[in-house]
Each structure stands twice: as C-alpha cells, then as structure tokens.
Amino acid sequence: MQTASGKSILERIAIGPLCVYKKAEVHISRTSALTSAQEWDRFEAARQTVRGQLERLYEKALDEAGGETAAIFEIHQMMLDDEDYLEAVRDIVKTGGTTAEYAVMEAGENFAAAFAAMDDAYMQARAVDVKDISGQVADALCGRRDSGLPEEQPVILVADDLTPSETVRMDKSKLLGFITRRGSFNSHTAILARTMNIPALVGVDFDDSWNGRTAVLDGCSGCVYVNPGPEFLSAMEERRDDECRRDALLQTLKGKPDVTLDGREVQVYANIGSAADVESVLRNDAQGIGLFRSEFLYLDAQDYPSEDRQFAVYKHVAEAMAGKKVIIRTLDIGADKQADYFGLDEEENPALGYRAIRICLTRREVFKTQLRAILRAGAFGTVSIMFPMIISLQEVRDAREILEECRTELREQGKATGVPEVGIMIETPAAVAIADELAGEVDFFSLGTNDLTQYTLAIDRQNAKLDAFYDPHHPAVLRMIRHTIEAGHRHGCWVGICGELGADLTLTETFLRMGVDELSVSPAAVLPLRKTIRGLDLKKD
C-alpha cells in the first residue's frame, strides 16, 4: 500500500478507483493569415460564447452549491469584461500576424504571472481564475469542447490542478472525490468542493502509475492510501458507511429544538450570500439568518444597486423566512472584495485599509441607499441591521445617526419601515477591548471569528504558507471571545458567532459554557451543530 499526504478540503472519506486526469496538450498556432481586425472579431465571438457558458455554469453552481459559491462565475464574467484584460489581448492582436487564441493565452499568462507575484494570497489564487477564463476562450476559438470526466464509472479524480469551471462541469454522480498536486485551501476550487460536499485533498505529490488503482481518500487524516489491503479497506468502508448513516440520522433532527440535555437553549442560524441561499436555509431548518452578506448585491452589479433593487431582494428574503430573524450585514466591500465602479485605490495592506464601515461612513449616499432599503424590508419580516469592522464608539454613533436620518426620511415619505435591532460585528482586537462601551450602543454583538483570528494573530488567513502558524483555537482568540460575550451580557446585549469557528464542533461546548446565545453557520452545518448541542449537558463538570 502506498501512502501520500496533502491538505484536506473536507473531512469525509471517498473510496474507489483513481483516474489520473491529464489535459490534452494542444498546440496553438501563433501565425495567422487573417487581418488583426478579423482576429479581433473572432475573439469577440468566442468571448460571447464563453459568457454564455459562464452563465450556465453559474446556474449549475447555484443549483448544486448555492448563491455565494455560484458568485465565483460572476467574478469570472467580470474578468472576461475587464478593460485591462481586453486591452492586453487587443494589443497583442494589433501587432499583426498573430491568432486570437495565441493573444488570449499570452495575455492570460501575463495576468496570471502578475497575480501570482502579488503578496496577497487571495490575489495569488486569482491566477488560476484568469488562466481558467483564458483557456475557455481559447477552447472556443479552437472549437474544443470539454468532455467532462474521462470515465463512465464513479472515480476519485487525480489532477495537477482543477479550475472552478472544470470542477462544476463534472457530473457529481461520477465524482467520488478529487486529489490535486497544486491548489490551496482557500482556492475557488476548494470552496466549491466544500460546498458541494466532495472529499478532496490538495498538495499531494501523486504518481501517474496510480491510474486505475483502488484508493481511499481520507479527508480526516489528509492522506490517500493506494492499493490498500483487504482489512484496511474493510475498516475504511465501515467508516464511510458510518458517515452515510450519520447523514441520514441528521435529517431526523429537523424540527427539533436546539436545546442541551440540561435545558439550555441556543439559537442556530445560517449564513447566506444571496437570496438564492434561502432555500438551503429552510431545507436545513435553521432558526433564522445570522449573516446576510449584502456585499454580493454590489459585486454582482455593474453599478451601484438602487434602493428599489436592494429592497426587492431584502423583502424577498424577509418574507421567505416568514417571521424568523434575518440579520443583514451592511456593505462589507474592500480588501478581497472589489467592484470596479467603486473606484477604490490599490493598497499596500487592503485587509487593514479602506473597507466596510469606513467606506459607508465616508460615502453617505451609498450607505443611505442601503439603509433605506433594509428599513423598508423590515416592514415585511423580522429584519436586523449589523455594521461590520467597527473599531470605535464614534463609528457606531455615526452609523446609527445616519440610520435614524433614513428612518425619518422614509416616514416623511409615507413609506412603512420596520424597527430593527441594531448590532455590530466584533472582528478586531480594538472592538474587543472596548466591548463594554460598545455594548451600551447596540442590541447585539456578532463575533466574526475569521477576521478576529487573523488580526489577533497578525496572520493573513488566505496565505497558504502560513497555514502551519494559523491557529483559530489560540488561547488569545478564545479569551477575546469570552471577554466579548461577558461584556455584552453585562449590558444586556445578546452575543452570537458568525465566523467559521461557529461550525467547529470541537468548540461548541466551550462556546456554550462561555454563554454564547447564537451560532450562525453555513446551511449545511446547521443539523450537525444541532446534534452536538442536543447531546451536551452543561451542568456536568
């Protein structure tokens, strides 16, 4: 039996034949007998073809993985329309005598190299995305079609790397799992795998001779076992079957209260990125929505979304949740989430830069448009407002003042509004340090543990080179969470967690003993969390 290790993307087990997937080597001719204008026309036609393909991939991802994940393909569409990218292709074509496919691949390689050379790990990961869209345009120009999985039987796919488009195109019924030599935990392909519930390992140094051999992909240990012996294989099959039985058992928890054995009730909510995710929230029986990432309304648009456009989306979500709480986080754009029409400058340290509430307080009309839409939607359900990236009392007071200004304007216009709870994200050490003062200004806190961890540890959570140093269980992080919960309760605030630690079942008991009131997780994590909560007895030492 051969063993190799990598970085696990999903803690699940896959067993089956390995299929080493190699992309066909295609020679792209550089020289063209056509004029540069004709080659540009060819490029534009291919670009429109790919746009249609991306729209179909978006719909497929939306169906299989939800709106937030499907947004990857909207980002690809934006890349396809990026003026700098188009100009680079145009310049190469204009040199004369070059084919459109050569120009596309050359421009793609140049952009990918530029992304890869950046210090920011998120931007480095975008190198794969620009190569993906360039390859799709080149395929359209050459008349090539993606054939999907090369095998008819279900397989564990092994590849040097997989692009997001390749991952979504594959028939899930034939994909047991995948293993790649390259890729990172935070790549778009990895995000797709987690959301689509596909066991995966990245960073595995595989051998082409594995093709056709039986293997066990163990996402719990981060190992792949090739040609396992009968006893080992039998034991791993039993573990996999246990997983399946556990999944079926979880479905029986629907409709059950989130109460510990000793009677402690906890609110279990879900995080969403778009209105399309509400179906998943309801299917997984969450008690409410603890984080609606409203920035995707902006990232999906070519210009600032209007008040009526936002109102329609928020109203739809509020009505669909039928009285259950919906917490809308106000615009959290900047850092790794960019929209060209905002005209944001490049920054040395974007995670520490002009983003979130800092943009809203300095671009009041943009902020007011969103607040008015949220207030109006509040008349159709239980809607709350949450401000991100707060570091001072003055920010909260300024934001609330603008909120009241919007409420007054709507009242004067005769428009109905809700009376929302107002909360803030606690995701900076500064907010934790003044949590007692902040609690006097708001109704609730929601701990954004992803950013809180990276700012506390001074570690870029998207930099794969730092994975060994990134410890979300660090005592400093846990002490900050405890301090925030205690400070909130001293002043009558309820306190929730909406970051990834909320779904970490090894910390559920710890958080409940700290007194957390609410945990908001991805829709798929709701039932496993409910099972854990219902099995705890907090009165036991």
**Residues with active-site annotation:** 188, 498
Alpha carbon distances (Å) from 35 to 42, 219, 531: 11, 53, 66
CB 441 within 8 A of CB 393: yes
* Sole residue written with tokens 């080659």: 39
Q: Which of 225, 230, 251 is nearest to 14 (CA)?
A: 225
Q: Which of 447, 407, 444 is nearest to 425 (CA)?
A: 447
Calpha distance 196→423 (Å, rounded): 32
Burial degree of 248 (CB within 10 A; 0-12, 13-18, 19+): exposed
Strands 13-21 and 155-159 turn out to be parallel
Calpha distance 85→134 (Å, rounded): 10
Question: Alpha helix (H) ranges present in 383-443?
Answer: 393-412, 429-433, 435-439
Question: What are the residues facing 18 on neighbouring strands?
Answer: 156
Calpha distance 364→166 (Å, rounded): 42
Chain centroid to CA 533: how far? Answer: 25
* Sole residue written with tokens 């994909």: 175
